[in-house]
Each structure stands twice: as C-alpha cells, then as structure tokens.
C-alpha cells in the first residue's frame, strides 16, 4: 500500500470515527471514567457541614476566621489501546475484517480521549510486542496511531495476551484506562489480567465474526489455521466434529467473560457487521 492510499484510508477512518466520537461519546466518555485523584482548586470561607480536615490553618490564622481548601477532580487521564494484530484478526466473512472493525473502535476511543484533553498510547501485539507508542496528546498523535493500525505489518502470527499485559504493566507506572481489543482466541491470561487490573482500569473488547461460532455442513474441506500456518482436512458433515468445534468456541468465550469479571474489569463483545456503537454506549452508560 503506497503512502497516498494509506493517507486516504486514514482520512476515511478519521471522518467516520471522529463524527461518532463528537456526536455520541462527547458526554459518555467524560462521565464513564474518573480522574486519577483530586487537585487543589481554591480557598474559600468555611461553611457549615464542610469537612474540618480540609481547613487551611495558615489562611485561617491570617484572617482569624476559618477557611477551607477546595479540591476538584483531576480530569486528565491516560488511555492505552492494546490491539491484537495476530493473523486471526484478518478473518472476515461480512463486509469487514475483524482488524478493520478493531481499528475503527480504537480510533473512536482515541478521538473521545483527545476531546477530553487526555493522553493516548498504543500497544500492538501478537505473541510478541510488535509496537509501543507512549501516550501523548493531540490530533496529529491520534492520526499516527490510526496510520499504524492500518498499515503495520506484524512479524509474528500467533497470540499471547499474557505477555502483552505483563509488558504494559511494566511500562505504565501511573494508572491508565486500558482497552484490550482482540478476538481473545487465547488462554491462560486470567492471572496477568488480575495483576494489571489492580492498578489500571481495564476493559476487554472482543470482536468476532458470526461464521466463527460454528462450522456449516460443507462436506470435506481444507481448513487453514492462520496463526500456525497449518492446513488440515475436516469432514464438516460429521456432527461430532461440528459439536466439538462449537463447544470449544463457547468455552473460549466463557473464559474471556469470566476472566474479566473475576479481575474486576469490564468486557464487551461485538460482532462484525453489528453496530458496535450500541455496545460501547451501553457499556459507558453502565459505568456512569
């Protein structure tokens, strides 16, 4: 893909996702996530019912009447987008690939953050850390993030969510809002999620395709595992094979949901072709 084509795609995603961010998430994002703490705002005269712990004794002594410190919530936040770019994200049977939907959601979240004057960072991962962009403010920074989401070519194909969570835990010292965008076709990441969830505000966004949920009856077909690169023949007329596949799929979904719930983190699932805005809006409102 040449530079002109990349810029065209960036612009297309910017127009779509910025409109969504401006129109839909302008209030929801602000009310869904709390600031890191309280910052000093001003000093005013003491009113009945004020917390005596907030009395400013220096000012009180100077004016010979009680004054209290007024604090306000520190609104500036840091958002980290953890995006799975393993080979399974290149699957799609509707109008889009899973990775394209992930890119749109990530861009919408990023624009929501900069409207609130927050920092945004990006972590692209497979079974290794492919790219880390430290959090910064500004539109040009968000456009760089979108460009990387569109054009970045991973070196590896598999998925290791645990390693990605451990890496982020090591580099992010201050509390952040963390969105993990993936199809979550992985296992054994529950402990890593619990650890990072103690410090950061974590939300999983699972993007899946309808055709992943079960195997249709198509006779004997050749199936390619995009992550391992291995191909094998499967008799899809076999009810046992179809049932086994569906059971494993549902087990994977349940693991995702339970892992995020047990860690105290939020989770969303959205299907390719479905209006992901509704899922995000519902989630943001439930937090408000």
Three-class SS state of 181: strand
Same domain, 13 and 88: yes
pTM over 0.75: yes
Same domain, 22 and 114: yes
pLDDT in tens, 221-250: 777 676 677 788 888 888 888 888 899 999
In a domain, 99, yes or no: yes
Same domain, 138 and 179: yes
Nearest-5° Cα angle at 93, 88 to 96 = 80
Among residues 73, 99, 129, which one ends one of the domains?
73
Residue 27 is predicted with a pLDDT of 58
Same domain, 65 and 99: no
Angle formed by the axes of helices 25-32 and 276-287, nearest 10°: 40
Across residues 36-63, what is the average pLDDT? 79
Task: Print the domain residue range for 16.
Answer: 3-26+76-210+260-287
Same domain, 68 and 86: no
Same domain, 11 and 136: yes
In a domain, 116, yes or no: yes
Among residues 46, 73, 100, which one ends one of the domains?
73
In a domain, 163, yes or no: yes
Residue 69 is predicted with a pLDDT of 83
Write the CATH number for 20. Answer: 3.40.50.410
Same domain, 151 and 283: yes
Same domain, 58 and 192: no
Same domain, 113 and 204: yes
More reliable by pLDDT, 2 or 264: 264
Same domain, 45 and 170: no
Among residues 15, 46, 73, which one ends one of the domains?
73
Same domain, 168 and 103: yes
In a domain, 199, yes or no: yes
Q: How many structural domains does the chain have?
A: 2
Q: Is the pLDDT of residue 266 over 90?
A: yes
pLDDT in tens, 189-222: 999 999 999 999 999 999 999 888 888 888 887 7
In a domain, 133, yes or no: yes
In a domain, 253, yes or no: no
Same domain, 19 and 51: no
Residue 153 is predicted with a pLDDT of 93
In a domain, 65, yes or no: yes
In a domain, 137, yes or no: yes
């Amino acid at each position: 893909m040449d530079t002109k084509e990349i810029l065209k795609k960036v612009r297309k995603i910017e127009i779509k996702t910025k409109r969504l961010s401006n129109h839909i998430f302008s209030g929801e994002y602000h009310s869904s996530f709390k600031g890191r703490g309280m910052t000093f705002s001003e000093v005013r005269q003491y009113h009945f019912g004020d917390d005596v712990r907030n009395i400013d004794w220096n000012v009180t002594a100077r004016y010979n009447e009680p004054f209290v410190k007024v604090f306000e919530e520190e609104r500036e936040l840091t958002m980290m987008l953890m995006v799975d770019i393993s080979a399974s994200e290149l699957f799609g049977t509707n109008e889009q690939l899973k990775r394209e939907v992930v890119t749109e959601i990530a861009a919408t979240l990023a624009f929501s953050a900069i409207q609130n004057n927050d920092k945004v960072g990006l972590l692209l991962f497979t079974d290794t850390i492919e790219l880390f962009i430290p959090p910064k403010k500004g539109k040009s920074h968000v456009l760089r993030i979108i460009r990387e989401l569109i054009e970045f070519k991973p070196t590896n194909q598999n998925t290791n969510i645990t390693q990605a969570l451990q890496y982020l835990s090591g580099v992010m010292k201050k509390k952040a809002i963390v969105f993990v965008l993936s199809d979550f076709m992985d296992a054994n990441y529950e402990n890593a999620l619990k650890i990072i969830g103690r410090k950061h505000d974590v939300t999983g966004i699972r993007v899946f395709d309808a055709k992943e949920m079960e195997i249709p009856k198509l006779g004997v077909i050749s199936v390619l595992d995009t992550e391992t690169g291995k191909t094998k023949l499967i008799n899809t007329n076999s009810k046992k094979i179809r049932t086994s596949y569906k059971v494993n799929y549902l087990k994977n979904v349940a693991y995702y949901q339970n892992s995020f719930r047990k860690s105290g983190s939020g989770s969303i699932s959205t299907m390719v072709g479905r209006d992901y805005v509704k899922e995000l809006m519902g989630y943001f409102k439930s937090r408000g």
